[in-house]
Structure 1
């Protein structure tokens, strides 16, 4: 079986690449997908539908266009990895975690221990909480290869 893994959350570090490299190192049968991680492109996704003077409507349209990708990829994934960083509040990641929970999709949260409290509800529905991409790779290795 090839596992579809959706990567959600923080876009300012290389955690996605660390997971991809770790999965390759263990020859895990996985395919990774993600939301658009180019911040400017994501913010401008709704601009395809015409310019907006009001930033609310620009963000609203972009969110809807981005949501087409996100909803489909989460619905098709076998597991999601949801990363929360320390520099910015990732409201989109929290929303993705809630969407996974609503769809009964298993997910792993990835974040430092200093934000346990604000993420307590998100972590409560997660199947695991990891603090490093290497831990996530080990979880995937165990789950997929039974080792």
Structure 2
């Protein structure tokens, strides 16, 4: 059995690489998907596909539509979602992806530091599991295969 894991969260740090490496070290049969990790590609995809836009807002809207399409397709195919809330960046996309996954009935593992408990309490209450780090998330996934 192989599980598809959607990695929802900011694209500015290497947290996804950490998850992938930990899963590989445990030889877990996981296929990882997630948002476009090339920030420039994500920002410019609207104009790449739809052509030049009238202004920066229209450019963002075009990119958002295409990125949302990609996200919905990949979330719908995921067996489980890991939603990472890091300490530094605004996490709107992570919250949206986690909420979308929950709406689709996908199990969500929420990674958040203890300091973020209050800000994420409602989302955490709906997640299947809340952990504080990548090691705990990988251990939970490994348990599925025992």
1:50 corresponds in structure 2 to 51
TM-score by length of 1: 0.93
Displacement of 1:54 after TM fit? Answer: 2.4
SS of 2:16 mapped into structure 1: helix
User: 1 CA distance for matches of 2:54 and 2:113?
Assistant: 38
Which structure 1 segments of 5+ residues have no match?
A: none
User: 2 CA distance for matches of 1:95 and 1:64?
Assistant: 14
| Contact in 1 for aligned 2:2/2:30 (Cα 8 Å) | yes
User: 2 CA distance for matches of 1:90 and 1:15?
Assistant: 14
2:5 corresponds in structure 1 to 5
User: 2 CA distance for matches of 1:43 and 1:119?
Assistant: 27
Q: CA RMSD, aligned part only?
A: 1.1
Query: Does 1:15 find its partner at 2:15?
Result: yes
User: 1 CA distance for matches of 2:41 and 2:91?
Assistant: 17
Q: How many residues align?
A: 145
TM-score by length of 2: 0.94
1:136 corresponds in structure 2 to 137
| Contact in 1 for aligned 2:10/2:93 (Cα 8 Å) | no
User: 2 CA distance for matches of 1:117 and 1:57?
Assistant: 35
Displacement of 1:82 after TM fit? Answer: 0.6
User: 1 CA distance for matches of 2:46 and 2:60?
Assistant: 7
Moved more, 72-81 or 12-21: 12-21
